[in-house]
A and B are shown apart, each in its own frame.
Chain A
């Protein structure tokens, strides 16, 4: 492989040099940090902030951290947050508006680009970011707010050598190995990392690190670890392109069945690294002369999402779950060229009642009689 010529070996004890190098370049470093019993994306001041010797156990509606005792820093696969919030902010002002006395002056509040390095981005989340770029930057109306946030981002991926039961990146063709969308990519092995650059910016940083040539045994160990991880992922989403299947089954009884279980809480959409629905509203100040136009993450599971005047286009939970699943897996392909699902499994883990989209799709694929129960 041509990339192997540029792969380098970084001892684990030299990882602080990477953080130093990033900070010297003016980057704020964010990475995987444990907080409130889960992995979140937060400030990494030193390597000791990373979850050494921890791993996650995930199942439908189940998330637990446990100690593994090892020295590995990146064995916790993921948590409820993803880098999406760095580019498509959960809440951000769009316009500062002044009005009154026949005047109206609206000014965009486009943020200043900030240099942020994100450490430990998984392959599924890099695919999700590429999808966000497609939606916010490469469509008819590029979004200047997203563009500003995106421009300062440096992405340091970590290939997964461990998976959890909710993962299905192999079905979506997004992981477990980091192969695209990264500035730098790490694979964590017992004593250190295989490091590869994906961009000139990443190459520049890599060159300054105290690295060595990669021992052929390390390459072999890396290959084995990645293959083992991929083999260990048992959850499947099939077919990867279910447009024909879902468009032909808009009235399938399974939608009623899942509506009995779904709480319409919207957790799945809040943890999803590709969901982009949002609300836009004015927050007027008390002086009656100023207003802030704000956009905030919203969910197709909220009743208000399909509301217009006295009419709701998606009044039932059945309608809203169907909208989410058909959009995510099928109509998304028509809109943006590939699936809206990257197989990260978050929506399965963080669903309070453990609804599993791969199971729902399988039930619909199973035929019209499969709507009897979970």
Chain B
């Protein structure tokens, strides 16, 4: 058997070394690949995803929210379906399978020296977390960084300490919004798109990274357009049903694009005329 040919088809065992819960339906797992050589081979960039396998149950496509230079891999998972309901019950010491990484990543190199506007909603922040960390660690290589993040409920805000840490960095603005805040919520009450009114962008030097519900992405696209940011500098991470992650099962198509192998991150100009058409 040719190892290279099957490597991306076979889940590698990974042990849960940490579990953090954010409210009753969202957990963040840190996973350690059992085989040290598998970790060495596992080279990823922020924005890529894994197929996370629950033994005997099934696989789900989940973005990697940890930083590439950390040993452990982090996946933040919302409990919403048959497979994730089993993930819900897993604890430290339990073993999952990982195959990946799949897909492309955020264009972090070509966006150096630019202002970066990040717009995320719900768990849509997970695929961008690694990208923001990457930029913050290379603070001098990027211009102004603005992070707009919206959640439905305050309890959906995961890893709040990351947003706080980014906030403390020079020339980084972090604006949070919650639809249904609790008493301790100190940020905006409402939807993330309302935060557009509170920021200033320089269309000449701004790049936009977005991830979240499609309705939020459509608003974000309109905002970028209104601000005069060229579509070629607006990037979106998209989501679809996926089974194989290697461009064969056919489920993740958007027009000619396979989200798994052509994306999941796309330049907005590559999505016409399909993105936003109902039922495509």
Interface residues of A (CB under 8 A from B): 94-95, 97, 99-100, 102-108, 110, 135-136, 139-144, 147, 247-248, 250-251, 276-282, 284, 288, 290-291, 295, 298, 300, 305-310, 313-316, 318-319, 322-323, 326-327, 331-332, 334-335
Contacts and interface: CB of A to CB of B under 8 A. Distances in A.
Nearest to A101: B95
Contacts of A295: 244, 249
B6 A108 contact: yes
Contacts of B55: 97, 99-100, 104, 291
A144 B6 contact: yes
Contacts of B59: 280
A100, A278, A290 — which one has the most chain B CB atoms within 10 A of its CB?
A278
Interface in B76-107: 80-81, 93-97
B246 interface: yes
9 contacts: A103-B13, A104-B53, A139-B247, A141-B8, A280-B244, A281-B58, A281-B243, A306-B241, A331-B253
Contact of B273 (A110, A247, A313): A247
Interface of B: 1-2, 5-6, 8-11, 13, 15, 53, 55-59, 80-81, 93-97, 239-241, 243-244, 246-251, 253, 255-256, 258, 261, 273-274, 277-280
B261 A313 contact: no
Contacts of A107: 10
A316 B58 contact: no
Contact of B261 (A141, A278, A332): A141
Contact of B253 (A142, A319, A327): A327
A331 B11 contact: no
A277 B247 contact: no
A102 B32 CA distance: 13
Contacts of A308: 239-241
A136 B256 contact: no
Contacts of B277: 250-251
A284 B254 CA distance: 32
B246 A319 contact: no
Contact of A291 (B56, B239, B251): B56
A107 B81 CA distance: 26
Given A102-B95, A310-B80, A323-B280, A108 B248 contact: no
B279 A277 contact: no
Nearest to A143: B248
Contacts of A327: 253
Nearest to A318: B279
A284 B56 CA distance: 5
